[in-house]
Structure 1
Amino acid sequence: MVNGAKNRVWEEVLSNRSDAIQSLNHQGFFEITSQEVNRISKKKSGPDFRNLSKFDKREDLPDVFVENELNILPISRKKYLVGHFDEYANLSSAEATSVEKYQVPNLASLLGNSATWNENSWISAGLAANVFDQAFEDSDFIRTINGRMGGGNWQFNISDFQDNHHFTLQLENPQIEIDTVLESPKAVYIIEAKQVKEDNFLIRQLYFPYRKLLSDLKIDNKPIIPVFFEINAASQYARVRVFSFDDDTHYNSIREIRRFEFQLIDRNETETAASLLQYAQSVITHDTVGKLFPQANDMSKVLELMMILKRRPLTKTEIAENFNFDPRQSDYYVKNILMYFGLAEQIDSRFKLTVRGKHIAQQAVGQRNILLAREIISYSLFNHLIQRRIIHGRLNKKDIIHEMLIEDLGLSISTVERRASTVNAIIEWIMLQILD
């Protein structure tokens, strides 16, 4: 969902450039300056160029770019190319084969609510907990480069949207930003960290720093390894994706070669499989009903929504704007999860946390997640399934469907089969909250 001001400014930019269409048809791109865009944006009371050109994922692109298969690339400090460039790569959504757990580092400056850490704090925590040792199968890291800098002067190729043509472009020291570079005796790691879960990302955020080190700093005595570090602060969960560029000169030659997932555990956390099983076996359960039955697989968004609703009530539209999705999807998280488990309520057009929901949301991250897990397993279906998961070590789809049918939810077989994946996602999220 792109900001309306961005759309208006870029529509005006393209309509003001009579040569733009001709240039796009002839060579596939046209040149533009930040000053030119800022002048138009100022007339329309729009944002500055830095915000106008920040498109970290495909969904951030203005409508006029999407409709005409356009993207924007910086080529110098003030000059940009708008053209038919394929700038994004999809992120694999395959399930993790394992999730490692580490205690939150015992450092005074990192103690407190990890949900408020920025990306650099997460990188520091990863270093202190030796996460990257295991993720990279390497050690003895030194943090070297970070921040904004000139990107250097070098040439590269980039594909168009159909991947049947590539453009050869020349950079003239555009400004780039590097979150951090770690160097070991064996390799150099460029880390781009994001506190959002996306299904695609802007390759340039890794490729330009990669070429800066390779072509400008002339590092050729050890491999340069690009890394995308996805952080979910609400769950204290993160994913380290290790990439390779198969062709140093080609922007689109990026390939994921390894993935490592981990969770930080609060030092005072004590929930184990045995304690959770004991709770599940002793708690008095609520009946599980079919109405508003959960259908959202991403518990991290549920936790994020709880944190937002802790601050103030929101309408369905406001929830959608916070998460950049269709208003219909708001129901999946607020009605089909939070209201379903008694943690939120609707008053007129706004949703707010219940007393129980507020109590859970106010806890430190680890305790909050455990309380939410216990709240969920106080419902009979989830109670039976978590017991089965702990005792037998696994659940398959057939087990889940069987339990859902026993519960007599009043759902059709096809709906039960679809909802089984959501149930499994919730159960596996609960399993992440235990220490062993």
Structure 2
Amino acid sequence: MAERKEGLSANEAWKAIIEKYHVLEEVEKNGYFLIKASQIKEFREPRLMAKWDSTDSLPEVLRKNRINILPDSRSSYVLGDFILYQKIPELDEPVTRMKQVELPDYETIDINNISSEANAINVLIISGILDDFLETSGNVSTFNGRMGTGCFDFEVDTYRKIKRKISVNNAQCEIDGGFENEASVVIMEAKNVVHEDFHVRQLYYPYRLWRSRVKKPIRLVFSVYSNMIYRLFEYRFATPEDYSSIELVQAKNYSLQDTKISRQNLLEVRRNTAVKTDDNMEGTKIPFIQANSMDRVISLLENMYENPMTTQQIAELMDFDLRQSDYYFNAGRYLGLFEKTADDGQKVVSLTALGNRIFRLNYKKRQLKLVELILEHRIFADFFDVMMETGEVPDKKEIADEMRALHVCNEGQVARRASSVAGWLKWIGNLMKL
């Protein structure tokens, strides 16, 4: 333990591990590298080093070298160029087409403040959403929590296009929700934070565990609850012994409130919004946006309500690295939603008074207020007008040219930040059918 250095970040610790144990050379030679938790602990606690639920959270040194990690027992892991993550489809369905669900009148449920994954699952069941999605009634919660996986082998794809065999000996998995109905057993992974992808292990290890225990077919559901909308995805493994054979079976979105936002609603917001005469952010303390997903800005707003966080805590919650954490904090500042304040001697990010007011609005009012805050900025107001006329989001070249004309950021940042402008415009268009 003498080599352990206090205060190392995950990225620094993994750099040190890779160097000490010649991980890259071993992976190149053998296709994988087995590492014990005790070896990781020389540099940092294993629980902080081995659980990366989306690629956003991966330490840069692992991401750069295309190295991913899987637990193969309770005290060891396997490193390799494994392909472990599944992209979550974008929310392309106009919100107006989603099925709206009415909740029974329970005093203990506030649909404006479903703040945990456990609460989201409760509402999913009470509302009948899960029954509707699976087209099977009588889904009863029968298991959840941490459990051992048992022993099994599987194959997984790699970036070198060579399948690797992994042997698991009673690793640990955690199941958010387990249900049974007359026809099947259902395993659910639930999130209340928006990510771009997810670690397939979260479904695969529980699947292999319960496949050995039950005779009924197993159905796998991935649920994302954010901004008062449930997004449900059903997956299956075409070949049970192949981790990489995951397939999307179906996807469906549900809302808990009225989501009907019309073209007229958006045009009215545009008419009533005073556009800033000088939107030149260059040289100011608030940088121009570099955060592509408005859904993730909203997800962060929801999670910070009455819960100020450090940028490190934001990074852990959202599966960001610290740089992305700053990008999304600054995106919230750009709209007047987030601020940094001092709390017990450290800087924390919290909601502004405006951010708190927006959180408490119902779905429709919240979205329209966010549109207003976006359209206060000249570049978005101008392109909104174009979108309303053409029915299409402008391409990134048009956006980049306008950014240069308005001097919203320096030349080296234009291309990357044009993607963010396009992402926010697409979010506005998706509130209704353009």
Common fold by TM > 0.5? yes
- Please give the residue correspondences for 1:194-205 in structure 2 after superposition, counting only pairs within 5 Å: 194-205=191-202
Letter in 2 for 1:110: I
How has the CA–CA distance of structure 1 residues 121 and 25 changed in structure 2, closer, same or farther, with 3 Å as cutoff? same
* Counterpart residue type for residue 253 of structure 1: S
SS of aligned partner of 1:230: strand
Query: 1:302 aligned to 2:301?
Result: no
Q: Does 1:230 align with 2:224?
A: yes
Change (3 A) 1:294 1:144: same
Q: How far 1:193 moved relative to its partner?
A: 1.1
The alignment's TM-score, normalised by the length of structure 1, stands at 0.72
The answer as to whether partners of 2:111 and 2:228 remain within 8 angstroms in 1 is no
Q: Please list every run of 5 or more consecutive structure 1 residues that lacks an aligned counterpart in the other structure.
A: 399-408
SS of residue matched to 1:24: helix
CA distance in 1, matches of 2:92, 2:297: 19
CA distance in 2, matches of 1:148, 1:141: 21
TM-score by length of 2: 0.72
**How much does 1:218 deviate?**
4.2
Q: Residue 241 of structure 1 aligns with which residue?
A: 233
- Kindly indicate whether the alpha-carbon contact (under 8 Å) linking 2:261 and 2:432 is maintained by their aligned counterparts in 1: no
CA distance change for structure 1 residues 248 and 364 in 2, over 3 Å: closer, same or farther? same
Q: CA-to-partner distance for each residue in 1:247-294, whole Å, 9 max, x for gaps?
A: 1110100011211112222xxx79875995896599575578765698
Where relative contact order (Cα < 8 A, 6+ residues apart) is larger, the structure is: 2
Do 1:360 and 1:371's aligned partners in 2 also have CA atoms closer than 8 Å? no
State percent identity of aligned pairs.
Answer: 24
Residue 244 of structure 2: SS of its match in structure 1? Answer: coil
State the distance in 1 between where 2:51 and 2:374 align.
Answer: 42
Residue 257 of structure 1 aligns to a residue whose secondary structure is: strand
Q: How does 1:416-431 map to 2 (within 5 A)?
A: 421-422=422-423, 424-428=425-429, 430-431=431-432
Contact kept? 1:297, 1:425, Cα under 8 Å: no
Count of matched residue positions in the alignment of Structure 1 and Structure 2: 404
8 Å CA contact 1:154–1:170 kept in 2: the answer is yes
- Find 2:189's aligned residue among 169, 186, 192: 192
Structure 2 match to 1:24: 27
- Matching residue's letter, 2:141: R
Structure-2 separation of matches of 1:328 and 1:83: 25
Cα displacement (A) at 1:174: 1.2
How far off is 1:169 after superposition? 2.4
**1:36-75 correspondence runs (5 A):** 36-38=39-41, 40-41=42-43, 46-47=44-45, 49-75=46-72
Q: Which among 348, 358, 361 is matched to residue 360 of structure 1?
A: 358
State which structure, 1 or 2, has the greater radius of gyration over its C-alpha atoms.
1
Aligned to 1:6: 10
Unpaired segments of 5 or more residues in structure 2?
1-6, 282-287, 342-346, 395-404, 409-413
Alpha-carbon distance change, 73 to 384 in structure 1, aligned in 2, over 3 angstroms: closer
Question: Whole-Å Cα distance in 2 between the matches of residues 103 and 369 of structure 1?
Answer: 19
Quote the residue 1:217 is aligned against. 213
Deviations 1:381-432 (A, max 9, x none): 9999999999x9x94458xxxxxxxxxx9799x99x9898456434346559
Give distance in 1, aligned partners of 2:155 and 2:220: 18
- 2:399 — aligned with what? none
Contact 1:320 1:329 in 2 (8 A): yes
Report the secondary structure of 2:89's partner residue: coil
Going from structure 1 to structure 2, the CA distance change for 1:305 and 1:36 (only over 3 Å counts) comes to closer
Aligned partners of 2:365 and 2:83: how far apart in 1?
A: 41
Q: Which residue of 2 aligns with 1:148?
A: 146
Q: How does 1:13-412 map to 2 (within 5 A)?
A: 13-17=17-21, 23-38=26-41, 40-41=42-43, 46-47=44-45, 49-93=46-90, 95-96=92-93, 98-111=97-110, 113-116=112-115, 118-163=116-161, 165-214=162-211, 216-219=212-215, 221-222=216-217, 224-232=218-226, 235-265=227-257, 276=265, 283=272, 291=280, 298-304=293-299, 306=301, 308=304, 324=320, 334=330, 339=334, 356-357=354-355, 359-361=357-359, 363-364=360-361, 366=363, 369=366, 372-373=369-370, 375-376=372-373, 395-397=391-393
TM-superposed deviation, 1:358: 5.1
Residues 177 and 189 in structure 2, CA contact (< 8 A), matched pair in contact too: yes
The alignment's C-alpha RMSD in Å is: 4.8
